[in-house]
Amino acid sequence: MATVLPFNGILYNQDKIDDLSTVVTPPYDVISPEEQIRFYERHPNNVIRLDLGKKKIDDHEKDNVNTRAAGYFNDWISQGILIQDAGPSIYLTAVDFLLGGRRMTRYGMIALVGLEPFEKRIVLPHEKTFSKVKSERLDLMKACHANFSQIFSLYSDQEGILDLLKEAAFQSKPLFDILDDRKDRHRMWRITNPDVHAKVTGLMEDKRLFIADGHHRYETALNYRTWRSKNDPEFTDHHPANYVMMYLCSMEDPGLIVLPAHRMLNGVEAEKIKTLPDRLAQYFEITRIPFADDHKEEALNSLAVMLEKQKSGNAIGTYIKGSDAFFHMVMKKGVMEATFGDQLPESLRQLDVTVLTRLVFMEILGFDGSHLDNEKLITYSSSVDKAIEAVVRGESDVCFILNPTRIDQVKRIAEEGQIMPRKTTYFFPKPLTGQVFNQLNP
C-alpha cells in the first residue's frame, strides 16, 4: 500500500528572489562541471550550493561540501530567502517542452511518499545503482536533514488523479511560471484543500510506484532512515525520515518521454579497441556506414534511420575512435540464449542495454562488476551528437548508440523483481531541483 501525503514544503521566497529561473537547476546527476560553475555564478542563492556544492582541496571534517550546504540551507531559512508553507500541500507541476518539432506537456504532483523496502513490492526499482553515489548523498542528507530534489516515480492513473489535481489547481494562478535554459516552461500550483488531499491519498493506497529517476536518492533515503532511527532518541513511526519527497507522474501521460542513455567508454586498452570490430562480428550482423569528414552527418542520419527500423529488436550503433565508419549492429539469432542460458530472464534478454552490458562489455571486453561501477570508465549521454563528439575529440575510445527503453519494458521488469543495468532509461525532461524542499527534522 503506497502512502502518499501532503507536506509543508519549503519554497523560495519570491519577495526576495524575483526570478526563480535564476535559482533552480536540473537534477544533480545530469549537471556537467561546466554547468555547475555556471549555476554558481548565476545567483548567490542558486540551489546548486545545496545539492551539488563545490569541493575544495583543503576540505576537512568541519568544513566540506556537506557542511557548507547545511550552512547555506540554514542561513537561507533564517534570512527568509526560503520559507516554509504554513499548512500541508500537494504541489502540481507542469512542464511544456518541444520534442521532435512537437509541443508537449507533462504533469506531475510533488508529495511525500512513505519509505518502503523494495522487498515489499510497493515501491519498485528497475536499475542498478552506484555505491559511491549513495555514500556521497547519504553524507549530504546527514548534514542537511532535507530532501533538496524529488525522486521521479511513475504510477498507473486509471482513476484520473492528476485530473482531480488539475481541476483544483487551475482555479488559481501558478506559484511560478518560468523558462529554463532549454526554454522549457515550468509551472507549479499549491493545492491546500484537505478534501482533495484525502481523495489523492485514498486513491494512491492501492498503487505500485515505479522509480523512474532517483534510485540513488531513494536507497539513500532508506539508509538515512536507518541511521536516524539509531541516532535520534525522538525517532518514531511518524518521524519525517520515514518519508521522502517524490514527483509522481502518470504512466499514461502523453508527455512522459523516455530517451536512450548512450554509452561512452574511456580508458579501454588499445588492443581491445583494435580487435573490437572482429569480436563484435562474432555476435552481430554488422553494416558499415562509411563517411568522409564532410559527410559524417549524412552517415549519422542513416544510422539513426536503421536503428529506428530495428527498435523492436536488438540493434546497437557503434563508433570507434579513429574509424571512418559507423557500425549498425543487429544481434544474430539465439546469441543471448546460447551465451547466457537461464542466467537471464527473457524480459532482460530482450533489452538492448542488457545485450550491450552483458554481451559487449562483460563477454567481449571482459568488464566485471568493478568496471561497471566505475563512473570514469563508463559515461552517459542522451544526445547522439555529444556521444559521437566525445569519441571524435578523443575524450572517449568508443561510443554505443541505443534505442530508448519502452515504458512497458520498465514496468514489466520492475514487476518481475528484475533489475536493469545502470542508466537504462533517461526520462525527459527532468523535474527541476529547487521548486520545493522537504525538511526531515520534526
* pLDDT tens per residue, range 234-266: 899 999 999 999 999 999 999 999 988 899 999
Range of the domain at 281: 261-403
pTM, two decimal places: 0.87
Q: Are 75 and 210 found together in one domain? A: yes
Q: Are 62 and 147 found together in one domain? A: yes
Q: Are 209 and 265 found together in one domain? A: no
CB neighbours of residue 65 within 10 Å? 17
Q: Are 131 and 148 found together in one domain? A: yes
CATH code of the domain containing 310: 3.30.1760
Query: Contact, 112 vs 5, CB < 8 A?
Result: yes
Q: Are 165 and 283 found together in one domain? A: no
Q: Are 152 and 75 found together in one domain? A: yes
Q: Are 318 and 280 found together in one domain? A: yes
* pLDDT tens per residue, range 291-333: 887 778 888 889 888 888 877 678 999 999 988 999 999 999 8
- Does 429 sit behind a cis peptide bond, omega within 30 degrees of 0 on the bond before it? yes
Q: Does a structural domain hold residue 344?
A: yes
Query: Contact, 353 vs 426, CB < 8 A?
Result: no
DSSP state of 52: S
Q: Which three cell numbers stand for residue 44?
A: 548567490
Q: Are 188 and 326 found together in one domain? A: no
Burial 230-253 (b: 16+ CB within 10 A, else e): eeeeebeeebbbbbbbbbbbbbeb
DSSP state of 403: P
Q: Does a structural domain hold residue 419?
A: no
Q: Are 246 and 324 found together in one domain? A: no
Q: Are 237 and 328 found together in one domain? A: no
* pLDDT tens per residue, range 356-399: 999 999 999 998 877 887 778 898 998 899 999 999 899 999 99
The domain total for the chain is 2
Q: Are 324 and 399 found together in one domain? A: yes
Q: Does a structural domain hold residue 423?
A: no
Q: Are 215 and 304 found together in one domain? A: no
